[in-house]
Structure 1
Amino acid sequence: MYGKLETRTFLAMLVGVSLAFVLLMKPFFGPIFWAVAIALIFHPVREGLARRVGNRPNLIALLTLLICLIIVIIPVLALVTSLVAEGLSVYQKIQEGELRPGEYIDRVNQSFPAIEAFFAQFGMDFAEVRDRVVSAFVGGSQFMAKQALGFGQNTFQFFLGLALMVYLAFFLLRDGSKLVDMLIRALPLGDERERLLFAKFAEVTRATVKGNLLIAIIQGALGGFIFWILGIQGALLWGVVMAIVSLIPAVGAALVWLPAAIYLAATGEIVSAVILTAFGVIVIGLSDNLLRPILVGRDTKLPDYIVLLSTLGGIVMFGINGFVMGPLVAALFMAFWGIFVREFGEVPGVPVNNMHVTTTETQQSEKPRPD
């Protein structure tokens, strides 16, 4: 009896200390999460270097991290800095009266009177919609301006988070395999299940980060290119904005190029409007429709509609990190239920394969993964 009491007390304290540690790490959730993502994505690079350099873990981790800095972190920082600077420039032009969003909407309304009638069918006042759009546009530019000022005021905090991310990524690249083995020994879920779940975590993280970021870069570059070709002001800004909104499946970059095409048509630039629309639908749109299922949906073994809903839900719950966290939670949900169905009996009318955890996948997961 006394031994049971000791065990329960120890387990209760273990849970309490673990929760306290999680709360302690909460302010650093972003750097920790992206350090894990870097270690997972660049693990193949690390393994390739290990075969060439030999058993020198510190040097291998350092070289892998340098490659990551050169091809990912530094370009992303440059793009974010450009976005904030362009946003501040737009806000200043609005304040000085060089840009008047309300007039642009009025031109569209004058050229396409049917728009006002369309809104009226749904009981919506076009003038009210116009004011809301203008407020949203001005609010967005104000947000960019605040981010520019905040970046200058919180430079130390920003670089502290960046340094922490790089620091953690180094140790995860060096000791990731040992940490995974330690967690497998510590967690009371059964080694087979734990290896399956760790494999699913690594698979989904790689697929969503690489897939979504690659799609965002491609769509942003294509959108900025066509805006530059057509002489649309702020091509760099709109290209970066298209890269960001392209993280939203099914809608993506059309949130930017479609209103631009409508405005070009309203101002009489029919040829430019047609070119932008055709380019947006055929080139930008197809790049999303073709690449997203291949790079994200296929690797995560999730249906397209689950990828869409989980991405949107993740962005709402976790912010920008949600484009990875959402599909990750959905994939782990499917994996847990797949394990349950396989081990505790099939759900009537639902084949085990629909749960995305097959016997072959489970057998593969029994092999230690260094991720």
Structure 2
Amino acid sequence: MQEKLERRSFLFALLLVTLAFALLLKPFFTPIFWACAITLIFYPVYRRLLMRYPNWRNAMALLTLLLCVVAVVIPVLAVASSFINEGVNLYQKIQSGEIDLSQQLEKVHSAFPGINIMLERIGIDLDQLKERLLSGVMSAGGFLAKNALALGQNTLNFFIMLGLMLYLTFFLLRDGDKLVTLLIRALPLGDEREHLLLAKFAEVTRATIKGNLVVAVTQGTLGGLIFWILGLPAPLLWGVVMTLLSLLPAVGAALIWFPAALYLYATGEPVKATVLIVYGITVVGLVDNLLRPILVGRDTKLPDYIVLFSTVGGLMMFGISGFAIGPLLAALFMAFWEIFIREFVSPSDSTPLSAGPEQSDVPDQ
């Protein structure tokens, strides 16, 4: 009786200490998550380097980290800075009247009178839609300008978080295999289940960040490039917006390039508009079908509707990091239910709900 009481008391205290420690780390959730994600992506590079120089763990981890900074961190910071500058400049031009959005929308309306009739049939007032669109653009521009100012004021905090992420990434690269082994020993879920869940975590993180992000960046880059070639304003800004939209299945970069093509038709530039539509369909649109199966794999891909809802929900809950966190939580949710159905509902049926990784794939790290 005494032993049972002591065990329960210890477990309760362990739970309290763990919750307290989790609250302690809550302000650093974003750098911790991205450190884990970057480690999963670059760990194969570290392993290959370590195979050639097995006694230089610290040096190889540092070299891998430097490769990560050069390949990922510096380009992302450069693009983000340019994106914010272009967005703020565009907002200032709209606010000052240098760019008159009402006049541009009127050109589109005049060029496509059938749009007004179609909208009226489905109960949408074009004038009200125009006001909401203008209000939304101004709100987005104001939000971007405000956050650009806040980012400038919190530069020190940003670089502290970035430094913490890189610092943690170094140790995760160097000691990741030991940490995974320790985690498997500590979790009371059963080794087979833990291997499955950790493999699913690694698999979806790589697929979401390395695969989906590469596809989105490729589509956004190609979209921004054609905007620049055609002489459309703020090509980098729209390229980044197309990159973000490309993360969402069933939405994609067409939400930007197709209205831009309509605008070109309305302003008397049918050649540019036709080039943009053909390019968007044949180049930007086909990137998803060509690259995603190679980088992500059809068997490991979540259903599009799950990806859509989990990505949007992740963005709403976690900000920009949500595009990776949302699908990851969705994949873990499906993995847990797969284990539950297989072991508790239909023990004799070993067929998984979705194609999952084999146990041998687990500790890639």
Give the TM-score normalised by structure 1.
0.93
1:364 aligns with 2:347: no
> Which of 326, 351, 362 does residue 353 from structure 1 map onto?
351
1:166 aligns with 2:162: no
- TM-superposition CA deviations, 1:147-169 (whole Å, max 9, x none): 22112111011111101110110
Comparing 323-332 with 34-43, greater Cα deviation is found at 323-332
Give the TM-score normalised by structure 2.
0.95
1:363, CA displacement in angstroms?
Answer: 4.3
**What CA distance in whole angstroms lies between the structure 2 residues aligned with 1:249 and 1:303?**
10
Gaps of 5+ in 2: none
**What CA distance in whole angstroms lies between the structure 1 residues aligned with 2:210 and 2:340?**
30
SS at match of 2:298: helix
Q: What does 1:80-99 align with in structure 2 at a 5 Å threshold?
A: 80-99=80-99
Indicate the percent of aligned positions where both proteins have the same amino acid.
58
Partner of 2:28: 28
Determine if contact 1:205/1:328 at 8 Å carries over to the other structure. Answer: yes
Partner of 1:243: 243
| Amino acid paired to 2:210 | K
Partner of 1:52: 52
Comparing 287-296 with 243-252, greater Cα deviation is found at 287-296
1:356, CA displacement in angstroms?
Answer: 2.4
SS at match of 2:296: helix
| Amino acid paired to 1:115 | I
**What CA distance in whole angstroms lies between the structure 2 residues aligned with 1:285 and 1:64?**
34
1:318 aligns with 2:318: yes
- TM-superposition CA deviations, 1:41-71 (whole Å, max 9, x none): 0011001110222221111110000000001
Q: What does 1:1-371 align with in structure 2 at a 5 Å threshold?
A: 1-296=1-296, 298=298, 300-346=300-346, 352-356=350-354, 361-364=357-360, 369-371=363-365
1:336, CA displacement in angstroms?
Answer: 1.5
Determine if contact 1:310/1:327 at 8 Å carries over to the other structure. Answer: yes
**What CA distance in whole angstroms lies between the structure 2 residues aligned with 1:362 and 1:226?**
42
**What CA distance in whole angstroms lies between the structure 2 residues aligned with 1:70 and 1:250?**
33
| Amino acid paired to 1:125 | D
| Amino acid paired to 2:337 | W
State the superposition RMSD in angstroms.
1.9
| Amino acid paired to 1:196 | L
| Amino acid paired to 1:364 | S
**What CA distance in whole angstroms lies between the structure 1 residues aligned with 2:155 and 2:299?**
37
Determine if contact 1:339/1:357 at 8 Å carries over to the other structure. Answer: no
1:310, CA displacement in angstroms?
Answer: 2.4
1:103, CA displacement in angstroms?
Answer: 1.2
**What CA distance in whole angstroms lies between the structure 1 residues aligned with 2:359 and 2:141?**
52
**What CA distance in whole angstroms lies between the structure 1 residues aligned with 2:7 and 2:329?**
32
**What CA distance in whole angstroms lies between the structure 2 residues aligned with 1:165 and 1:41?**
14
1:35, CA displacement in angstroms?
Answer: 0.2
| Amino acid paired to 1:369 | P
Comparing 159-168 with 227-236, greater Cα deviation is found at 227-236
**What CA distance in whole angstroms lies between the structure 2 residues aligned with 1:51 and 1:190?**
31
SS at match of 2:351: helix
SS at match of 1:298: coil
Determine if contact 1:249/1:311 at 8 Å carries over to the other structure. Answer: no
Determine if contact 2:37/2:205 at 8 Å carries over to the other structure. Answer: yes
SS at match of 2:39: helix
**What CA distance in whole angstroms lies between the structure 2 residues aligned with 1:352 and 1:122?**
49
**CA, structure 1 residues 218+363, in 2 after alignment: closer, same or farther (shift >3 Å)?**
closer
Determine if contact 1:39/1:172 at 8 Å carries over to the other structure. Answer: yes
Gaps of 5+ in 1: none
**What CA distance in whole angstroms lies between the structure 2 residues aligned with 1:23 and 1:108?**
52
- TM-superposition CA deviations, 1:248-277 (whole Å, max 9, x none): 122121121111111111111111111111
| Amino acid paired to 1:113 | P
SS at match of 1:192: helix
1:312, CA displacement in angstroms?
Answer: 2.6
Comparing 328-337 with 68-77, greater Cα deviation is found at 328-337
Determine if contact 1:297/1:303 at 8 Å carries over to the other structure. Answer: no
1:293, CA displacement in angstroms?
Answer: 4.4
Determine if contact 1:86/1:234 at 8 Å carries over to the other structure. Answer: yes
**What CA distance in whole angstroms lies between the structure 2 residues aligned with 1:88 and 1:347?**
58
- TM-superposition CA deviations, 1:158-209 (whole Å, max 9, x none): 1111011101101101111111111111110111111111111111101110
**What CA distance in whole angstroms lies between the structure 2 residues aligned with 1:325 and 1:86?**
28
**What CA distance in whole angstroms lies between the structure 1 residues aligned with 2:158 and 2:351?**
45
**What CA distance in whole angstroms lies between the structure 2 residues aligned with 1:48 and 1:297?**
23
Q: How many residues matched?
A: 365
**What CA distance in whole angstroms lies between the structure 1 residues aligned with 2:359 and 2:71?**
35
1:319, CA displacement in angstroms?
Answer: 2.2
**What CA distance in whole angstroms lies between the structure 2 residues aligned with 1:114 and 1:54?**
69
